[in-house]
Structure 1
């Protein structure tokens, strides 16, 4: 026989109303007040269960928020790098106050089938790494505290005292392609210890960084929905977890669809009348090349060069110039269109401003579509700015991904977003792994050497990461050690590693043989406590 709840309807409603009030008050706190939500507290309360469990990451999230706000006030920045290994994590605590879990790094080191970062690892890969690292932080904090409490107060000043509870910033990738998977990933990350999640606008299944072309973004509307879905999930959990809204539009070559008019100004189309008359598509050109044994890449390049690829606005400008129309005509067109004007609205505006003949622009964005159906996309700093402004009200930090950062583009992006949102907006940034900082990109020697400080002081970038140190830096050190060991054996190891680690001052290097680091003292303390011994000293 089923046993119904004994809760009365009045009690149920009272409980719901109380939850609504709790949510409303929470949203007024300094941590949450800047977020502009498109839903009500009633909606959040209705999506919660009758009991809201504490979120383990909340203390770390609040700690991160205060840390970043302090950096923002001082014009300084938090520097960290990517990590997946608890051993490496324990050393970072001596110098860093946050850690980063990269999806790409996790795919290399924590995946049964490692490979290039195509985000083709299981969606719970990063949450599992976060769980492992968070538990390692808690354990290191526990064994350090036990060691310190086992010493009299006057002796503790000489003992190690690191803050192992470093907030974890986790890579949420692109939400793995659907709102429900993205929400589940956000839930897992928050519940397993992530103080912040970053979410991007790349297309799942089309994340190709191994070829000259391939980076594909989703429409602005889909990106906005991703960020909203994560915020909604955090609200339902009662999680303080920060959202870093990352835009990967820089160096994007494709967009999945043209469903959102806000993207229409940047979609490239063929303007060669011969191509339009023949309806000769890029896909057909590549297929013909493969069939005839020619290079698909060369055929693709030749087609693109001959197609006269332009945005519609570029085609309008060229048509007006070719026809010798006065600049006022082009200005008239530009006044009729703006952010969010659809292609059809742009076509109508061109005819009204330039006349029916000149304004009948030859333009077809279907012809250059890829084999997977993506549209060609013209990336500009303005596209990054526009997307940042769309998701800023629902997120906490803005982040423009620029694997090959041009100083002038960085400056233009941050200044434009700050001009629109005000000086309180905070930013994050990641430095690529193989960028020479050329002078052609605005990098003088002085700017390169002080790039992190410049971004903090001039642009408000409060959190900066080098995601791939654990591949580049650690691999380099292991290679050196492997070469030394195989050539010098235990004698070389003793002189160059063991003796240095054990005799280092003021603190010997952490390692398994070090009782405090490996938890030996903690284990002994448990045995002593079970035996009835008092283990804390005063």
Structure 2
């Protein structure tokens, strides 16, 4: 292997030039809002000798950045939905500005063994789907362009001209393990052509759906570590790829660890002495064949589950609690031990609080989620990302308003995302029919510029397919002619399909043969659209 023929002086000069280029990029209008815990020299030293392939992702990211800021300025929003299918993606260009690739959808349709939304598929699953979608966009863009250029300028105004290169936003879930896994995933996303990915604060492997237990989040420090790893990888690749900081803390019932004092305010503990550990209580109940859900709720009531501040309030006089909260308020974050010290000084009675007793069999601590907790996480994460998304379990309007208002008090120009889950009960949440009609516009006024229905393919596509399958089984070709083929062929312009050569790529396919044969791109009898040089 030959040695590199470069002097250390030249090496240092190139290194310093790289640092200057990084610092210039970080100071640009696109990135000036970001705050990194590392320096430009560190990133420059991490880069390989040849630049990474991030051109496509950068171009799409800048396009998305412009779109989102345009919406923010005008008080409007992008309404999109989740899919993994390139054919569906091709039709979205007519109504959506962006494409969303959901991890949950990928887990159902793009893996060897389908499964529920546990993010238990290989870490490169979603990047591969992004690559598939992005390449399909390139193909549609190419076949449309080639078809248009076959025609004289005078005729092109009548031809379809869709922007098939809609920026792709993709689900990075929890980062898939260690920080190096998160970095590898981020790199694959960039090389696939993604515009933005989101990383959340959920615990890997701890999603449960039917046993009456909520989600589990990781400590704030671990969440920030994931975001930092993704941001660092983007910087190493020199990409402009956007990072969406998604916070799933709303209605989370557990947290994996109490290592970060920023989370201590919301950890629940037993406030009644003499109760058995929850995991032992449940084990005994299981052996007796009891209903574990019911037994679990009984234990929580018996243990008097509260946060430490609530435990203090339960035993303190009004003046004592006022003195306690006044002292606590002097600090942005306080550990449990520091809160105990303040309680000893301000409250006469002992405060019993044990956050070990409610721990689950998997070791999780019980957690009391509230809007304040979600806001705090979003605020500390914001400097690492470009957009914020607080996943809400239900569309409680006052909570939605409180979260976005509080974040914007600190970051007035913050861009937000919002996801509509498939089972939102708007009537139960107090919305009128008229309010539901305008909810996306009302959200947009708060800076929620990107709004998504993540799993449309599971509801919408399943429903349409079921309806078509029933019709086809009952009526055969007659029903198909009436409901599909007839309307498609009579539509102006004709609905996209195999019969429409401009859509299925017939002209582009033939153009390859024509080009090899030396033929002109112009159709016979039409003016040549190219000048030979």
Same fold (TM > 0.5): yes
Residue number in structure 2 paired with 1:445:
433
Q: Secondary structure at the match of 2:176?
A: helix
Residue number in structure 2 paired with 1:349:
342
Cα distance in 2 for partners of 1:295, 1:431 equals 33
Residue number in structure 2 paired with 1:425:
414
Cα distance in 2 for partners of 1:101, 1:318 equals 47
Residue number in structure 2 paired with 1:214:
214
Cα distance in 2 for partners of 1:110, 1:282 equals 39
Cα distance in 2 for partners of 1:190, 1:162 equals 24
Does the 8 A contact of 1:116 with 1:210 survive in 2? no
Matches within 5 A, 1:167-182: 167-182=167-182
Number of aligned positions between the proteins: 521
Does the 8 A contact of 2:211 with 2:293 survive in 1? no
Matches within 5 A, 1:47-86: 47-55=46-54, 56-86=56-86
Q: Secondary structure at the match of 1:198?
A: strand
Matches within 5 A, 1:209-248: 209-248=209-248
Stretch moving more, 397-406 or 143-152 = 397-406
Q: Spell out structure 1 runs of 4+ moving beyond 6 A.
A: none
- Residue 299 in structure 1 maps to residue 295 in structure 2: yes
Q: Secondary structure at the match of 2:183?
A: helix
Deviations 1:85-129 (A, max 9, x none): 000000111111101000001101111111210111111110010
Does the 8 A contact of 1:119 with 1:207 survive in 2? no
Residue number in structure 2 paired with 1:261:
261
TM score, norm. by length of structure 2: 0.96
Residue number in structure 1 paired with 2:384:
394
Cα distance in 1 for partners of 2:93, 2:482 equals 27
Q: Secondary structure at the match of 2:424?
A: coil
Cα distance in 2 for partners of 1:476, 1:504 equals 24
The offset of 1:79, in angstroms, is: 0.8
The offset of 1:442, in angstroms, is: 4.1
Residue number in structure 1 paired with 2:485:
498
Deviations 1:238-294 (A, max 9, x none): 11110110000001010000000110010000111222xxxx100001110112222
Deviations 1:147-177 (A, max 9, x none): 0000111111111110000000000001012
Cα distance in 1 for partners of 2:46, 2:430 equals 49
Cα distance in 1 for partners of 2:347, 2:147 equals 79
Cα distance in 2 for partners of 1:402, 1:214 equals 13
Cα distance in 2 for partners of 1:217, 1:431 equals 20
Cα distance in 2 for partners of 1:93, 1:374 equals 44
The offset of 1:212, in angstroms, is: 2.5
Does the 8 A contact of 1:254 with 1:375 survive in 2? yes
The equivalent position to 1:317 in structure 2, one of 313, 318, 343, is 313
Residue number in structure 1 paired with 2:320:
329
Does the 8 A contact of 1:256 with 1:374 survive in 2? yes
Residue number in structure 1 paired with 2:128:
128
The offset of 1:375, in angstroms, is: 0.4
Does the 8 A contact of 1:244 with 1:396 survive in 2? yes
The offset of 1:298, in angstroms, is: 2.2
Residue number in structure 2 paired with 1:434:
423
Cα distance in 2 for partners of 1:400, 1:210 equals 23
Deviations 1:290-326 (A, max 9, x none): 1222222222121112110000000101111xxxx2x
Cα distance in 1 for partners of 2:212, 2:178 equals 27
Cα distance in 2 for partners of 1:178, 1:70 equals 36
The equivalent position to 2:333 in structure 1, one of 337, 340, 361, is 340
Residue number in structure 1 paired with 2:21:
22
- Residue 200 in structure 1 maps to residue 200 in structure 2: yes
Q: Secondary structure at the match of 1:119?
A: coil
- Residue 468 in structure 1 maps to residue 455 in structure 2: yes
Aligned-CA RMSD value:
1.1
Q: Secondary structure at the match of 2:443?
A: helix
Cα distance in 2 for partners of 1:66, 1:514 equals 33
Q: Secondary structure at the match of 1:315?
A: helix
Deviations 1:374-407 (A, max 9, x none): 0000000001000000010111011100131211
The equivalent position to 1:403 in structure 2, one of 352, 371, 393, is 393
Residue number in structure 1 paired with 2:505:
519
Deviations 1:37-62 (A, max 9, x none): 12111011001012213412111000
Q: Secondary structure at the match of 2:79?
A: strand
Deviations 1:390-430 (A, max 9, x none): 010111011100131211100000000001222x1110010
Deviations 1:483-536 (A, max 9, x none): 11111111111121111111112x211112221111111011111111111104
Structure 1 segments unaligned to the other structure (5+ residues):
none
